[in-house]
Each structure stands twice: as structure tokens, then as C-alpha cells.
Chain A
Amino acid sequence: MSIFVDEKNKVLVQGATGHQGVFHIGEMLNFGTKVVAGVTPGKGGQDVHGVPVFDSVREAVDETGADTSLVLVPARFAKDAVFEALDAGVKTVVVITENIPFHDAMEFVHYAKYKGALLIGPNCPGIASPGKTKIGILPGNIFKVGNVGVASRSGTLTYEIVNSLSEKGIGQSTCVGLGGDPIIGTTFIEALDAFEKDKDTKAVVLVGEIGGTAEEDAAEYIKEYISKPVFAFIAGRTAPPGKRMGHAGAIIARGKGTAESKIKAFEKADVKLARFPTDIADLIEKYV
């Protein structure tokens, strides 16, 4: 099994005909993802790697039965795109786009909740269940089928960690990039809950960073509800307060969001912490 997505997801790509869209539709098809449609207003009737392109999400859903959307459209059009997908009945929306205004994200996160849909991102690399599907821009060659679940607020750092797991022969059930923005649709808590219920996940890796209290919230949840071993890496131990460290969400503001506080919270929840990102694999070997 896996969490959130598997080989059954029928994926449409919003922003299919741009440079990113064309490239990643190809990459996803290579991975085995069922990409059934593309959507770019005004480009209906074209195709990308043989995948038909439609003018609207509704047409794409009606014609192909797509139930999942990957959003690659530019930031200022992202809110409209996500609303369009949710209104057309899409049940899983993965938003890759970076620099979406926070208030827009807040609105579509709540609309997704109202519609009972799963929203991942924004500003995330997407999600992959190795051997089944990859919905996003994660490199396809780093994964290995297995039993470790990964949830992360960062992109490249996750690739680094997943790659080091795979090199040691430790495969993954699902790797989900949650996103580097302050307002995101799916948090560590929802991912932990899903990994706990997934019988093929034996251990969970969380990749956190400074900013907000997502890790502290997760630590409380772990104490209460998670029986599987959890490992973590926190980026930004040396980040100064008040500076936005690349990700919109990575900022220590008003004394909140320090790495120290997150590390303490995780230690209290018996989460094993890695000093360096590549140490996660050693820790898992040692404990699982």
C-alpha cells in the first residue's frame, strides 16, 4: 500500500503546454503515472506526449474521468486554477507553484476542505508512491519500493534524504512534499495519520525546517497517536531570527519557529533526530 496516491489516480495537469508542463508530463509517464489529460485555456485540442489537452478542467474530467490535478500554472493564476479543479470534482490537488499569495492559499485550502478534497502544497515538489505513481516534479530515479514513509517541507533536501535511503537499500512507501509555504493544505499531522494506518509503512521520516509550529504540533500528535518509529531532520539550526530562509515559510518570527524548539519537541516525543540529512539512513538501519 501507500498513502494519498497510488496507481489508480488519473491525473490531469493544469498548465500542461508550458515548458514545465511538457517536461514533467513526459517524466511522469516514464514513471508509470496515469496522466490522462492536460488543461491549458485556449490550447484545447492539442496534445502533449499523446496526452489530450483541454480548455477547461470540467471538459477534461468529463472526457477522461480524471480525479487528480497537478497544478503547474503561474502564481497569480493559481487560485483560479485550484478553485476550477475543486469545482469540477477533482478529489486530489497537488499544487507545485511557488510564490502564491498567502491569502489565496488560505482560501483554496479551506475550499478543498469544504469539498472534501485532499490538497497538497503549494510550493511543493509533489508526491510519489514508488512503483505506483509520481504526481509532481520529483526526480523519478531516486526512489525504491519499500516501507519507509517520508513527509517533508523541503524539496531538494528530501531528494537527498530519499536518495541516501535508496542507496542503503531502504525503500519508501510514499514520499510526500508538503511545501515550503506558511499556508499549506496537508501538514505533518495528516501525513502521520495516513502513514500510521498504512500497513506497508513501517517507519516514518519527517523533514522539517524553521518557521511556524508544524513540527511542534506533529510532536504532540506523535505522542498521542503514532505507534510507528519516527525519524526527523530539521533544517535551519543556525538561521537567524527575522530572515526568510529561501522558503516563504522558513522564518523565525516573534520568537516562534526556532529549530531548537522543534528539536526539543521531537525529543520529548521520542523521535530520533539526525545531525546531517544523510544520517537518517543510518538511524533507520540502527533502529528498524
Chain B
Amino acid sequence: MKLFEYRGKELFKKYGIMVPNGRLVESEKDFFDLGFPLVLKAQVPVGGRGKAGGIKKADNLKDAKVKLGQIMGMNLRGYKVRKVLAEKMIDIKKELYLSVSLDRSKRMPLIMASAEGGMDIESVSDEKIFKEWVNPLIGLQSFNIRYIISKLGLGKEEGKEVSEVLTQIYKLFREYDCELVEINPLVFTSDGNVVALDSKIIINDDALFRHPDIIPEHVELTPLEKDAKEKGISFIQLDGNIGVIANGAGLTMATLDALTHFKGKGGVFLDLGGTDDPEKVKQAFELMKKAKPKVIFLNLFGGITKCDTVAKGVKAVISKEGIDCPVITRIKGMNEDKAKEILKDAGLVTATTLQDAAQRSSDLAGGGK
């Protein structure tokens, strides 16, 4: 789960990392003691806010009111801005980049630091990014910190300050089960402070159960996706118009890929997982119907989950609730013949191969148009 910048900064404060003086603002009265100039920042879970007009400087109260009006409610890369953070402008002497993330290949926390702060880290060349891995069994040690600090070309006092920030974000990374803690930029101010100007924190969804203080918001999900998440169904909305239901994440992805080969385009990814529970199948179909696909493509491989039990669930839903778009099915594996009979009986098209089914779905959907 991505945290909004302001929530990330609350965590920074908790860990003793300085952030600019600021708060969420909704109207004029919220600015009363912040002082000017200040910066207004749209709170959305995507990057590139500055370029898209989501970050604006305000020189006085009148200016702030106007700019707040411009930002609040604007559409930023698909997200409506509902929260705006106002912060006292800071006088920047030097900018750094600092992050801790999960290195999937090494399976270790990875510290990255660069003296090129304030830029998109993907655009910084590799030799300017310094990396250090931490063995999770021994934790962050002084030698890890010394290595990183030595590369950044800092003065002695500056080095000490950054060491402290690094120690704290590593602690935050581990204690809050983060996938990423990033400060970009971490700035030195002309009055000698080290301040986190931005925050990017992603907390592992699977660990939220042990962080009751983190209110799950899932701001990055659509309303239907949120609904699915609450029901424990793996459901993702995409650009196309074919709703794909399959069992297993890999198979569902492969099914979407197959559609593209025939000029079709998936509109929904719905992974039934290992379930043949009729109630779950019913919920899945209900969600799918709400997404209003032009065609539904049901692709099942029966292993432990038997094809016919899933087919029974599908038939029950369709005969009871009806369905207003064509359903193409492709069934393979344990008890496939029984399953095909049941689905045919329910009036659904049963295709022979994945390719055949993908082609038929794509054609019916008008090639994704």
C-alpha cells in the first residue's frame, strides 16, 4: 500500500527525521501560521506531480487561495486530488537521494544513495548511485553506513546527520514492513538542518495486520477493485473490454496475453485462485458483471480444483441471475468433460483450445474497440 506523502512524513517525524513545517489544507483559515512563501502539493499516489501541475508555490495568502483552488479537485494522472499539503518553503543548500528497498534478486534490504537528489532516480546514471546491501539476520551495521556516507562527498557534520537519517529510515523500513522508504530529496538547508522534502513509502499489504496504526486506504485502487479486495478476490481493471476469469495468477495473465495475439484486449483480470466454493464463484461473476465487459472469457485448468465443481458454480449464477454478454469458456484438466456438459447446458460457448477461445472472444469483442 502506497502512503500519501503527508502520511509518510508523519512516520518520518515519529522516527525523528525532520520534515518541513506543514499541514493538510482545505481553506484559507488553514494557512494562518505557516508563513510565506509556501508550497502546495497535491496528495496522489503517483509520481511526476510537479510536471503535471500538482505542486505550486504561493507567495501570499491570496495567491495560496487561488492555487489551492487550482490543485484541489484536479485530475492528476487518473487520480482526483482530494488532499493538498501546504508546507513552508525551504531554502535548499544541497540535495541528496536516500532510499531503502527490497532487492528481490539478493533477497536483502538495499540502501541506495546519491548526491544527485531531487531528480527522478531512474534518470540518474548508475555510477552516481551508491548501493549497499544489509543482511537481514545481522541488521544495519556501522560499516554499511560508513560505506554509503564515504561515497556522498559530505563534510564531517553533514555525514553524521545523514548517518542518523539512514539509521532511522532503515529502522522504519524494517519495523513497518516496508517495500520502499524513499527520501527524494533529502536537503541541507542554509541554516544547517537536514530535512526530508518528500516521502515515498510503500508498506507490504500482507503485513498490514501487524500495523494497526496504518489505516488501509488503498488509494490506488478503483471502487470495484476495493470491493474485490474486501471480498478477498484478485480483481484488476484494465483498458480493454474482455473480462477474463481464470484460476491462478499466471494462467490469468497468460490468458490476457493470448487475447492480444488475436487483437483483443482484456478489461478485467480476475483470478479465481484455487477455489471451487460456489459462493466465491458467484461473487466473482457478480463483480465481473459490474465491470460491464463486452465478452467474458472463462479459462480454467482443473488440477486439485475440479473443473466440474467450478462449472456448477458458474451455471448456478448464470441460471439464477442471468448474464447479458456472451461467455466463452475453455476448460482443461480434471473432469473437463463433465464441466463442458454443464456449461453447454447453461448456454455457454465451449471452445476447444486456448487459441480458439481467445480468437472467438476477441472477435466478439470487436478487436478491443
Contact = CB atoms under 8 A, between A and B. Distances in A.
Interface stretch (A61-69, A190-198, A233-241): A233-241
A114 interface: yes
B262 to A, nearest CB: 11
Interface string B172-190: 0010010100000000000
A101 B301 contact: no
A284 interface: no
Contacts of B257: 235-238
Contact of B107 (A106, A137, A277): A106
Interface stretch (A2-10, A45-53, A246-254, A264-272): A246-254
B332 interface: yes
A246 B271 contact: yes
A246 B137 contact: no
State the majority secondary structure of interface residues on A: loop
A59 B135 CA distance: 31
Contact of A276 (B174, B247, B258, B301): B258
Contacts of A104: 207
B251 A238 contact: no
Contacts of A132: none
A260 to B, nearest CB: 12
B250 A154 contact: yes
Contacts of A105: 107
B249 A180 contact: yes
Given A99-B206, A276-B258, A276-B355, A210 B253 contact: yes
Given A106-B107, A212-B105, A139 B253 contact: no
B360 to A, nearest CB: 15
Nearest to B137: A110
Contact of A103 (B177, B239, B303): B177
Nearest to B120: A254
Of the listed residues A76, A139, A250, the one surrounded by the most CB atoms of chain B closer than 10 A to its CB is A139
State the majority secondary structure of interface residues on B: mixed
B260 interface: yes
B300 to A, nearest CB: 9
A19 to B, nearest CB: 12
Interface string B222-253: 00000000000010101100000011111111
A157 B137 contact: no
Contact of A163 (B249, B332, B354): B332
Contacts of B253: 157, 209-210, 235-236, 239, 245-246, 250
B327 interface: no
Contacts of B206: 75, 99-102, 248
A235 B122 contact: no
A101 B137 contact: no
A227 interface: no
B92 interface: no
Contacts of B303: 138-139, 142, 156, 159
B250 A212 contact: no
Given A102-B204, A250-B253, A163 B238 contact: no
Interface string A201-215: 000000101111110
B108 interface: yes
B254 A233 contact: yes
Of the listed residues B205, B251, B354, the one surrounded by the most CB atoms of chain A closer than 10 A to its CB is B251
Contacts of A154: 248-251
Given A156-B301, A245-B269, A278-B354, A76 B251 contact: no
A166 to B, nearest CB: 12
A247 B249 contact: yes
Interface string A99-133: 11111111101110010000000000000000000
A245 B269 CA distance: 8
Contact of B301 (A160, A212, A247): A160
25 contacts: A27-B304, A75-B206, A101-B177, A102-B206, A102-B207, A103-B177, A106-B108, A137-B304, A154-B248, A160-B251, A160-B332, A182-B102, A207-B250, A209-B250, A209-B253, A211-B104, A217-B105, A237-B260, A238-B256, A243-B236, A244-B236, A276-B254, A276-B258, A276-B261, A277-B354
Interface of B: 102, 104-105, 107-109, 121-122, 135-137, 174, 177, 179, 204-207, 209-210, 220, 234, 236, 238-239, 246-254, 256-261, 265-266, 269, 271, 274, 301, 303-304, 332-334, 353-355
Given A100-B206, A160-B333, A214-B104, 8 more contacts: A99-B206, A103-B207, A109-B107, A155-B250, A158-B250, A160-B332, A238-B256, A245-B253
